[in-house]
């Protein structure tokens, strides 16, 4: 086997699967969104589906709801992850146990997380009962609507619950990778705690925080299970709306479902592109200063 | 005095919040799974029963068949993804070649772009080639979210791998299989385990891809669980949820030491 071809041959099976199933899927979604559905006898290319969904109030409401959920979940979980990673960083009594607990929900499926949040936060749920015991509320309706609510707080809570640990472990790994040397040096030079955090630790963590936030944003923008369990029916989150349109008996809804998929994919693609550019520029700027 | 000061440190509060925050959603799950009557406003179930657990493990219920489907699909996906992903991980970890950045980006794309969008797009082709309503189609569609993680984890181990040992074994007359079995495999075994467990868990957790491609014929555990969530039988929903997370917990016990620390497999995501 020629050495130069070797990596390509080793990569061939994986690339075939990804290109065929994933690339092909995205491409077919794009084709169906512009009205090319030969299996339904339609081959005329048109932007009608995009025009139609952009005029629907349901689409724009879903879009902004999804954007809100993704932004809020990402912001809250990244901030909490930073706090947790800093707290778990140095060894203490029970460190192993608490780190283990912190990892606990990483492999838990979102569907189960959503059921847990539902049982916890519904108006007759576990917390409502505790609030009743404490004399804070007298009947279920007094407990704030946190699931099936217009602000999608229940969905955000589930995402924060899961992704704080995900981002936190990434940050923890980064912290353990860089060690304490730079902070000790800053301390020796007279930097106080806040200065060490602001000018040493935080810049070291920023690249990992950006990567993790992008992953979390992309996931929460495109995920399906949690809104299905914890979201209100209308307006629904964008992936749920897309799926409902797709399985609609009205076949005209199918190009619209695909158009929503393309919009979701494009938005995430643009975001990834921007964040890659931003981190490149930043890295160049840092190197330039040196 | 120092002791009091220590317990009131903000870090202690944060640690307590972590423990409560992570574990709290499991409390009502455990309680509901053994409850018989649990009406508002009782904080604890009024009467206990093993009805839900008996249902879950009764041979007549759909649960055993769902467990069977979930296990079959996840095992096939794990085996297939390692078979396909191992060479790719080696290529990405060991070699420098033209277009490596683009290839890496392409392989990782399904971890970021929602797989549901791609699955809805490819659905028509699956229908045409008879890949819907059966296990084979579900296994294929699960490869989309699984394969990138397998390749990512395995490329990590090959980045620190020294192929010279294989060359030495070859010089000593070892066949290709012997080199793989006695040189490569022992070195990459821990990463292979982590990749396999990741693959199993990701496949095990899939709901919407299975529903879309399985068409209600391949009723895996999450598909069944979701029908109980919508039916509102909290006790069975809770028991089924706990069965559903059992392999995840085993997974964590087996791999906890690889998830954090210097050799963290999750650390790779920070460099994406």
B172/A contact by beta carbon, under 8 A: no
Contact A115 B19 (CB under 8 A): no
What gap in Å lies between CA A267 and CA A263, rounded to an integer?
6
Q: In a 10 Å sphere around its CB, with 0-12 CB exposed, 13-18 middle and 19+ buried, how is residue A127 labelled? A: middle
Q: State the average pLDDT for chain B.
A: 88
pLDDT tens profile B98-144: 999 999 989 999 988 899 999 999 999 999 999 999 999 999 999 99
Closest chain A residue to B222, measured at CA: A111
Residues of B with Cβ-Cβ distance to A248 under 8 angstroms:
none
Residues of A with Cβ-Cβ distance to B15 under 8 angstroms:
87-88, 94, 98
Q: In a 10 Å sphere around its CB, with 0-12 CB exposed, 13-18 middle and 19+ buried, how is residue A277 labelled? A: exposed
Ramachandran assignment for B173, one of left (phi > 0), alpha (psi -120 to 50 degrees), beta (any other): left
**pLDDT band of B5, cuts 50, 70, 90:** low
- Count the neighbouring beta carbons within 10 Å of the beta carbon of residue A104: 19
What gap in Å lies between CA A133 and CA A128, rounded to an integer?
9
Contact B121 A25 (CB under 8 A): yes
Q: Which residues contact B41 (CB under 8 A, 6 or more apart)?
A: A128, A129, A132, A133
What gap in Å lies between CA A150 and CA A235, rounded to an integer?
8
What gap in Å lies between CA A164 and CA A105, rounded to an integer?
10
pLDDT at position A50: 94
Question: What DSSP assignment string belongs to A133-177?
Answer: HTTS-SSGGGS---SS-TT-HHHHHHHHHHHHHHHHHHHHHHHHH
**Tokens found for residue B48:** 């206990």
pLDDT at position A282: 67
Q: Which residues pair with B35 in a beta bridge?
A: B48
pLDDT at position A2: 65
Cβ(A264)–Cβ(A222) below 8 Å: yes
Contact B97 A113 (CB under 8 A): no
What gap in Å lies between CA B158 and CA B191, rounded to an integer?
9
- Domains present along chain A, CATH in parentheses: 33-283 (1.10.3720.10)
What is chain A's pLDDT, residue by residue, as a tens digit (290 residues)?
A: 567 889 999 999 999 999 999 999 999 999 999 998 888 888 888 999 999 999 999 999 999 999 999 999 999 999 999 999 999 988 888 888 999 899 888 889 999 999 999 999 999 899 999 999 998 998 888 999 889 999 999 999 999 999 999 999 999 999 988 888 888 999 999 999 999 999 999 999 999 999 899 989 999 999 999 999 999 888 999 999 999 999 998 888 899 999 999 999 999 988 888 887 877 776 656 554 43
pLDDT at position B129: 95
What gap in Å lies between CA B87 and CA B146, rounded to an integer?
15
Question: Closest Cα to residue B120, out of A33, A69, A225?
Answer: A33
Contact B88 A11 (CB under 8 A): yes
What gap in Å lies between CA B85 and CA B154, rounded to an integer?
8
| Percent residues over pLDDT 70 in chain B | 90
Residues of A with Cβ-Cβ distance to B252 under 8 angstroms:
100, 103-104, 106-107
pLDDT at position B57: 87
Ramachandran assignment for A252, one of left (phi > 0), alpha (psi -120 to 50 degrees), beta (any other): alpha
Report whether pLDDT(B211) > 50.
yes
- Domains present along chain B, CATH in parentheses: 2-38+45-51 (no CATH), 60-271 (1.10.3720.10)
Residues of A with Cβ-Cβ distance to B43 under 8 angstroms:
126, 129-130, 133
What burial letters (b/e) apply to B100-112, b meaning 16+ CB within 10 Å? eeebbebbbbbbb
- Disruptive mutation site among A78, A107, A133, A224 for chain B (greatest number of B CBs within 10 Å): A107
Q: Which of residues 34-73 of B touch A (CB under 8 A)?
A: 40-43
- Disruptive mutation site among B18, B128, B145 for chain A (greatest number of A CBs within 10 Å): B18
pLDDT at position A80: 97
Closest chain B residue to A20, measured at CA: B122
pTM of the model: 0.90
SS (H, E, C) A2-19: CCCCHHHHHHHHHHHHHH
What gap in Å lies between CA A25 and CA A246, rounded to an integer?
14
Reported ipTM: the value is 0.88
Query: Can you list the positions of beta strands (E) in chain B?
Result: 35-37, 47-48
Contact B14 A177 (CB under 8 A): no
pLDDT tens profile B11-56: 889 999 999 999 999 999 999 999 988 888 888 888 888 888 998 8
- Disruptive mutation site among B112, B136, B158, B226 for chain A (greatest number of A CBs within 10 Å): B112
B129/A contact by beta carbon, under 8 A: no
Q: Give the nearest partner residue to B229 out of A115, A126, A130, using CB atoms.
A: A115
Distance from CA of B59 to the nearest CA of A (A): 23
């Amino acid at each position: 086997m020629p050495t130069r071809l070797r990596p390509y041959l080793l990569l061939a099976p994986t690339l075939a699967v990804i290109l065929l199933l994933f690339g092909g899927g995205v491409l077919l979604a794009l084709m169906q969104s512009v009205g090319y559905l030969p299996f339904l006898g339609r081959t005329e290319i048109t932007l009608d589906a995009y025009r139609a969904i952009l005029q629907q109030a349901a689409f724009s409401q879903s879009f902004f709801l999804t954007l809100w959920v993704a932004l809020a979940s990402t912001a809250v979980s990244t901030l909490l992850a930073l706090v947790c990673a800093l707290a778990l960083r140095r060894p203490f009594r029970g460190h192993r146990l608490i780190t283990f607990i912190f990892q606990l929900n990483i492999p838990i499926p979102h569907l189960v997380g959503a059921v847990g949040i539902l049982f916890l936060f519904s108006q007759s749920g576990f917390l409502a009962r505790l609030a009743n015991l404490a004399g804070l509320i007298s009947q279920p309706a007094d407990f704030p609507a946190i699931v099936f609510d217009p602000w999608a707080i229940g969905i955000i809570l589930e995402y924060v619950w899961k992704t704080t640990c995900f981002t936190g472990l990434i940050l923890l790994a980064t912290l353990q990778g860089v060690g304490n040397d730079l902070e000790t040096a800053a301390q020796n030079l007279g930097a106080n705690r806040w200065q060490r955090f602001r000018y040493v630790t935080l810049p070291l963590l920023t690249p990992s925080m950006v990567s993790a936030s992008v992953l979390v944003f992309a996931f929460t923008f495109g995920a399906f299970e949690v809104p299905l369990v914890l979201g209100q029916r209308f307006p629904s989150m964008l992936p749920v709306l897309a799926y409902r349109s797709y399985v609609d008996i009205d076949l005209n809804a199918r190009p619209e479902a695909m158009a929503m998929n393309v919009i979701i994919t494009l938005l995430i693609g643009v975001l990834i592109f921007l964040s890659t550019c931003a981190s490149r520029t930043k890295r160049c700027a840092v190197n330039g200063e040196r | 005095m120092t002791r009091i000061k220590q317990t009131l440190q903000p870090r202690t509060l944060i640690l307590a919040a972590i423990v409560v925050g992570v574990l709290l959603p499991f409390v009502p799950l455990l309680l509901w799974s053994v409850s018989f009557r649990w009406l508002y406003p009782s904080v604890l179930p009024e009467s206990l029963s093993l009805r839900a657990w008996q249902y879950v493990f009764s041979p007549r219920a759909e649960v055993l068949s769902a467990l069977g489907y979930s296990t079959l699909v996840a095992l096939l996906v794990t085996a297939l993804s390692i078979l396909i992903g191992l060479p790719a991980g080696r290529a990405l970890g060991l070699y420098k070649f033209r277009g490596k950045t683009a290839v890496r980006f392409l392989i990782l794309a399904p971890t970021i772009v929602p797989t549901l969008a791609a699955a809805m797009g490819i659905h028509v082709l699956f229908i045409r080639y008879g890949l819907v309503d059966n296990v084979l189609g579900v296994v294929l569609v699960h490869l989309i979210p699984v394969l990138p993680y397998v390749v990512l984890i395995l490329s990590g181990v090959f980045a620190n791998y020294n192929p010279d040992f294989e060359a030495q074994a070859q010089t000593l007359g070892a066949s290709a299989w012997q080199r793989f079995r006695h040189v490569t495999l022992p070195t990459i075994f821990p990463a292979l385990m982590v990749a396999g467990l990741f693959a199993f868990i990701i496949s095990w957790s899939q709901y919407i891809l299975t529903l879309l491609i399985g068409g209600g014929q391949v009723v895996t555990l999450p598909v069944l669980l979701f029908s109980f969530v919508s039916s509102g039988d909290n006790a069975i929903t809770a028991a089924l949820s706990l069965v559903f997370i059992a392999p995840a917990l085993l997974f964590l016990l087996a791999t906890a030491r690889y998830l954090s620390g210097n050799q963290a497999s999750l650390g790779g995501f920070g460099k994406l």
